[in-house]
Structure 1
Amino acid sequence: MKKEYRIKKNHEFSRIFEKGTSYANRQFVVYVLHKPDQPHFRAGLTVSKKMGNAVTRNRIKRHLREVLRDIGDQLKGENDYIIIARKPVITMSYDEIKKSFKHVMGVAGVLNKPNKKH
């Protein structure tokens, strides 16, 4: 993910947690904060230490960053997102993670249009 697409600072996370709206399924919790003056989306990833060791957590984050690259053109650009992974993600393949992530983003209503290419 490009630098301008990332959320890293603690105060940014805190603001999104406080003012954003949360949506969830069994694998993910997503906080969405609408920012109309922003030209593109930004995303922050959270994977708890309860999920496993550093290798496991980093694998999950790599998969999530790749999913964001794949479906980034479908996401509404003027939002900040915080994606929190839940326990079931540990055993999921990349394709399962992508399907579940697209589902929760659909529930949040932030997908522009379905992409027909597979």
Structure 2
Amino acid sequence: MLRLGMKKKYRIKKNEEFQQVFEHGVSMANRQFVVYMLDRPDQPYFRIGLSVSKKLGKAVVRNRIKRYIRQFFLEMKDQITEGKDYVIIARMPTSEMNYAEVKKSLLHVLRKIGALKQNI
């Protein structure tokens, strides 16, 4: 099966990798998202890990949120600083949001944490 979008190497999957980002990275939050960012100077690309709790809704809702976040990173990949790992934790309001709102909110929090190459 061909997967379009985010390739496997751009994702953080392993628990140890998540823990590293939580323990050694910096974090920034707004009402909808918490973003952890960890420097990986030896890595020529960025990776993202997603955490969407069951509190946010059933699988359909959680998968939609994850799709939106991955879509955002795909669209914005040229503006996002490479050589970093990002862990995005979705908070309650995201279950009610459409893609435009998710995009606006993620832009806001990534700008605050300094993950964007230039001010967009």
Q: Give your verdict on TM over 0.5.
A: yes
Verify: 1:7 aligned to 2:12, yes or no.
yes
Q: Give 1:32's match in structure 2, choosing from 13, 25, 37.
A: 37
SS in 1 for 2:118: coil
Question: Residues of 2 paired with 1:90 and 1:53: CA distance?
Answer: 10
Structure 2: gaps (5+ residues) = 1-5
Give TM-score scaled by structure 1 length: 0.95
Verify: 1:90 aligned to 2:85, yes or no.
no
Q: What's the offset of the Cα at 1:78?
A: 0.8
Moved over 4 A (4+): none
Number of residues of Structure 1 aligned to a counterpart in Structure 2: 115
Question: Residues of 2 paired with 1:92 and 1:49: CA distance?
Answer: 16
Q: What's the offset of the Cα at 1:59?
A: 0.6
Identical columns (%): 57
Question: Residues of 2 paired with 1:10 and 1:65: CA distance?
Answer: 19
Give TM-score scaled by structure 2 length: 0.93
2:66 maps to 61
Of Structure 1 and Structure 2, the greater helix share is in 1
SS in 1 for 2:76: helix
Question: Residues of 2 paired with 1:91 and 1:52: CA distance?
Answer: 10
Structure 1: gaps (5+ residues) = none
SS in 2 for 1:73: coil
Question: Residues of 1 paired with 2:60 and 2:21: CA distance?
Answer: 27
| 8 Å CA contact retained: 2:111, 2:119 | no
